[in-house]
Protein backbone atom coordinates (compact mmCIF):
# COMPACT_ATOMS: atom_id res chain seq x y z
CA UNK A 1 0.00 0.00 0.00
CA UNK A 2 1.58 3.28 -1.11
CA UNK A 3 1.46 5.98 1.57
CA UNK A 4 -0.65 9.03 0.93
CA UNK A 5 -0.75 12.34 2.80
CA UNK A 6 -4.25 12.11 4.22
CA UNK A 7 -5.30 14.74 6.74
CA UNK A 8 -5.38 13.46 10.36
CA UNK A 9 -4.69 9.86 9.29
CA UNK A 10 -1.05 10.65 8.60
CA UNK A 11 -0.53 12.88 11.64
CA UNK A 12 -2.26 10.53 14.07
CA UNK A 13 -0.34 7.56 12.72
CA UNK A 14 3.02 9.28 13.17
CA UNK A 15 2.10 10.44 16.68
CA UNK A 16 1.03 6.92 17.60
CA UNK A 17 4.23 5.35 16.31
CA UNK A 18 6.41 8.04 17.90
CA UNK A 19 4.78 7.53 21.31
CA UNK A 20 5.45 3.80 21.10
CA UNK A 21 9.08 4.30 20.05
CA UNK A 22 9.76 6.80 22.85
CA UNK A 23 8.06 4.57 25.42
CA UNK A 24 10.19 1.64 24.29
CA UNK A 25 13.37 3.72 24.52
CA UNK A 26 12.42 4.86 28.01
CA UNK A 27 11.43 1.29 28.95
CA UNK A 28 8.01 2.55 30.00
CA UNK A 29 4.76 0.69 29.48
CA UNK A 30 2.19 2.96 27.88
CA UNK A 31 -1.48 2.04 27.99
CA UNK A 32 -3.41 1.37 24.82
CA UNK A 33 -5.93 4.19 25.09
CA UNK A 34 -3.15 6.68 25.86
CA UNK A 35 -1.45 5.63 22.64
CA UNK A 36 -4.61 6.22 20.63
CA UNK A 37 -3.77 9.93 20.55
CA UNK A 38 -0.21 10.69 21.63
CA UNK A 39 0.26 13.76 23.81
CA UNK A 40 3.36 15.44 22.43
CA UNK A 41 4.77 18.85 23.23
CA UNK A 42 3.71 21.14 20.39
CA UNK A 43 7.13 22.81 20.16
CA UNK A 44 8.91 19.52 19.57
CA UNK A 45 6.27 17.37 17.94
CA UNK A 46 6.74 18.66 14.37
CA UNK A 47 10.50 18.13 14.45
CA UNK A 48 10.18 14.69 16.02
CA UNK A 49 7.50 13.60 13.58
CA UNK A 50 9.73 14.65 10.71
CA UNK A 51 12.36 12.26 12.10
CA UNK A 52 10.10 9.26 11.43
CA UNK A 53 10.66 7.58 8.08
CA UNK A 54 8.82 4.71 6.42
CA UNK A 55 11.17 2.39 4.56
CA UNK A 56 10.41 2.62 0.84
CA UNK A 57 7.57 5.00 1.84
CA UNK A 58 5.28 2.02 2.16
CA UNK A 59 3.08 0.31 4.71
CA UNK A 60 1.56 -3.11 4.26
CA UNK A 61 -2.02 -4.20 4.79
CA UNK A 62 -3.15 -7.54 6.24
CA UNK A 63 -6.51 -9.29 6.04
CA UNK A 64 -6.69 -10.73 9.56
CA UNK A 65 -5.08 -10.58 12.98
CA UNK A 66 -5.19 -13.36 15.58
CA UNK A 67 -5.58 -12.37 19.24
CA UNK A 68 -4.65 -14.90 21.93
CA UNK A 69 -6.45 -14.53 25.25
CA UNK A 70 -7.40 -16.43 28.40
CA UNK A 71 -11.04 -17.37 28.91
CA UNK A 72 -12.97 -16.92 32.15
CA UNK A 73 -12.37 -20.59 33.02
CA UNK A 74 -8.60 -20.11 32.56
CA UNK A 75 -8.33 -21.77 29.16
CA UNK A 76 -6.40 -20.60 26.15
CA UNK A 77 -8.42 -19.27 23.21
CA UNK A 78 -7.98 -17.17 20.09
CA UNK A 79 -10.04 -14.56 18.27
CA UNK A 80 -9.64 -13.82 14.57
CA UNK A 81 -10.30 -10.18 13.72
CA UNK A 82 -11.19 -9.38 10.11
CA UNK A 83 -12.16 -5.78 9.21
CA UNK A 84 -14.21 -7.06 6.26
CA UNK A 85 -16.55 -9.17 8.42
CA UNK A 86 -18.66 -8.73 11.55
CA UNK A 87 -15.70 -10.01 13.59
CA UNK A 88 -14.01 -6.60 13.68
CA UNK A 89 -14.71 -5.15 17.13
CA UNK A 90 -12.16 -5.33 19.97
CA UNK A 91 -11.90 -4.51 23.67
CA UNK A 92 -8.92 -3.07 25.55
CA UNK A 93 -8.17 -1.66 28.99
CA UNK A 94 -8.85 1.99 29.68
CA UNK A 95 -6.10 4.35 30.83
CA UNK A 96 -8.50 6.15 33.17
CA UNK A 97 -7.69 6.54 36.86
CA UNK A 98 -9.12 3.43 38.58
CA UNK A 99 -10.28 5.61 41.51
CA UNK A 100 -12.44 7.70 39.20
CA UNK A 101 -15.88 6.64 37.88
CA UNK A 102 -14.60 5.98 34.38
CA UNK A 103 -15.22 2.71 32.64
CA UNK A 104 -12.48 0.09 32.87
CA UNK A 105 -12.69 -0.88 29.20
CA UNK A 106 -12.45 0.85 25.82
CA UNK A 107 -14.04 -0.51 22.65
CA UNK A 108 -12.97 -0.01 19.05
CA UNK A 109 -13.90 -1.16 15.54
CA UNK A 110 -10.95 -2.28 13.45
CA UNK A 111 -10.93 -0.70 9.99
CA UNK A 112 -7.47 -1.81 8.87
CA UNK A 113 -4.55 -4.02 9.92
CA UNK A 114 -1.09 -2.82 8.90
CA UNK A 115 2.63 -3.00 9.48
CA UNK A 116 5.46 -0.75 8.39
CA UNK A 117 9.24 -0.67 8.69
CA UNK A 118 10.01 2.49 10.65
CA UNK A 119 13.29 4.40 10.96
CA UNK A 120 13.58 6.96 13.76
CA UNK A 121 16.57 9.30 13.62
CA UNK A 122 15.93 11.73 16.48
CA UNK A 123 17.15 9.53 19.34
CA UNK A 124 20.32 10.32 21.28
CA UNK A 125 22.03 7.41 19.53
CA UNK A 126 20.53 7.35 16.01
CA UNK A 127 19.77 3.88 14.70
CA UNK A 128 19.09 3.81 10.98
CA UNK A 129 18.01 0.19 10.96
CA UNK A 130 14.28 -0.14 10.25
CA UNK A 131 12.10 -1.72 12.91
CA UNK A 132 8.88 -3.48 12.07
CA UNK A 133 5.85 -1.92 13.78
CA UNK A 134 2.34 -3.33 13.60
CA UNK A 135 -0.73 -1.17 14.15
CA UNK A 136 -4.50 -1.17 13.82
CA UNK A 137 -6.52 1.65 12.34
CA UNK A 138 -9.73 1.87 14.38
CA UNK A 139 -12.92 3.80 14.92
CA UNK A 140 -13.75 4.43 18.57
CA UNK A 141 -16.89 3.60 20.50
CA UNK A 142 -18.19 5.70 23.37
CA UNK A 143 -20.97 5.11 25.89
CA UNK A 144 -24.44 6.29 25.00
CA UNK A 145 -24.26 9.38 27.23
CA UNK A 146 -20.88 10.38 25.71
CA UNK A 147 -19.48 10.78 29.23
CA UNK A 148 -17.70 8.54 31.79
CA UNK A 149 -19.83 5.72 33.16
CA UNK A 150 -19.75 3.63 36.31
CA UNK A 151 -18.18 0.21 36.16
CA UNK A 152 -20.69 -2.18 34.61
CA UNK A 153 -19.74 -5.09 36.87
CA UNK A 154 -21.17 -3.17 39.82
CA UNK A 155 -24.29 -2.12 37.93
CA UNK A 156 -24.79 -5.67 36.56
CA UNK A 157 -25.68 -4.29 33.15
CA UNK A 158 -24.36 -4.76 29.64
CA UNK A 159 -22.27 -1.89 28.37
CA UNK A 160 -24.31 0.26 25.99
CA UNK A 161 -22.18 1.84 23.26
CA UNK A 162 -22.35 4.02 20.20
CA UNK A 163 -19.81 4.81 17.52
CA UNK A 164 -18.37 8.29 17.49
CA UNK A 165 -19.65 10.28 14.47
CA UNK A 166 -17.29 10.11 11.52
CA UNK A 167 -16.85 13.90 11.61
CA UNK A 168 -15.70 13.85 15.26
CA UNK A 169 -12.02 14.77 15.58
CA UNK A 170 -11.32 11.73 17.77
CA UNK A 171 -13.48 9.26 15.87
CA UNK A 172 -10.47 7.48 14.35
CA UNK A 173 -7.15 6.45 15.78
CA UNK A 174 -4.49 3.76 15.99
CA UNK A 175 -3.77 0.87 18.33
CA UNK A 176 -0.86 -1.38 19.16
CA UNK A 177 -2.22 -4.92 18.52
CA UNK A 178 -0.41 -6.04 21.67
CA UNK A 179 -2.80 -3.95 23.78
CA UNK A 180 -5.96 -5.64 22.49
CA UNK A 181 -7.47 -7.95 25.10
CA UNK A 182 -9.71 -9.88 22.71
CA UNK A 183 -12.53 -9.52 20.22
CA UNK A 184 -15.94 -8.42 21.46
CA UNK A 185 -19.41 -9.36 20.24
CA UNK A 186 -21.68 -6.33 19.83
CA UNK A 187 -25.44 -6.77 19.58
CA UNK A 188 -27.38 -3.90 17.97
CA UNK A 189 -29.95 -2.20 20.16
CA UNK A 190 -32.62 -2.70 17.54
CA UNK A 191 -35.19 -0.41 19.19
CA UNK A 192 -32.91 2.58 18.54
CA UNK A 193 -32.75 1.92 14.79
CA UNK A 194 -29.97 2.41 12.25
CA UNK A 195 -27.79 5.47 11.82
CA UNK A 196 -28.64 5.56 8.11
CA UNK A 197 -32.11 4.09 7.42
CA UNK A 198 -31.60 4.56 3.68
CA UNK A 199 -28.47 2.35 3.77
CA UNK A 200 -26.25 5.13 2.43
CA UNK A 201 -23.34 5.92 4.72
CA UNK A 202 -21.06 8.93 4.91
CA UNK A 203 -17.61 7.31 4.79
CA UNK A 204 -16.48 4.46 2.56
CA UNK A 205 -13.42 3.96 4.79
CA UNK A 206 -15.57 3.60 7.91
CA UNK A 207 -18.11 1.44 6.05
CA UNK A 208 -20.82 3.03 8.16
CA UNK A 209 -23.81 2.37 5.91
CA UNK A 210 -25.02 -0.49 8.16
CA UNK A 211 -24.20 1.09 11.53
CA UNK A 212 -26.75 1.02 14.34
CA UNK A 213 -27.34 3.93 16.71
CA UNK A 214 -26.50 1.87 19.78
CA UNK A 215 -25.00 -1.51 20.68
CA UNK A 216 -24.80 -3.83 23.67
CA UNK A 217 -21.36 -5.28 24.39
CA UNK A 218 -21.39 -8.99 25.21
CA UNK A 219 -18.05 -9.80 26.84
What does the pLDDT look like over 116-147, one tens digit per residue? Answer: 999 988 877 677 889 999 999 999 998 865 44
Band the pLDDT of 187: cuts 50, 70, 90.
very high
159-169 pLDDT per residue, tens: 889 998 888 88
Task: Check residues 130 and 199 and name the one with the higher pLDDT.
Answer: 130
pTM of the model as a whole: 0.80
What is residue 35's predicted lDDT score, i.e. its pLDDT?
Answer: 46
Label residue 31 by pLDDT band (50, 70, 90). low
Of 23 and 115, the one with more pLDDT:
115
Residues 99 and 9: their CA atoms lie apart, in Å, by 33
Section 65-86 average pLDDT? 92
Centroid of chain to Cα 139: 7
C-alpha dist (Å) from residue 25 to 18, 20, 45, 120:
11, 9, 17, 11
Amino acid sequence: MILTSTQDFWTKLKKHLLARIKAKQANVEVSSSTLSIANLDEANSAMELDSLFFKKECMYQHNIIRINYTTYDVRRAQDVINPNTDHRDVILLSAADPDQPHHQYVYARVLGIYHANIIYTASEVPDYRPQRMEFLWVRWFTNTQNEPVQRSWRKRQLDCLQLLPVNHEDAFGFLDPGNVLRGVHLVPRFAKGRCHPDGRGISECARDSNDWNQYYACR
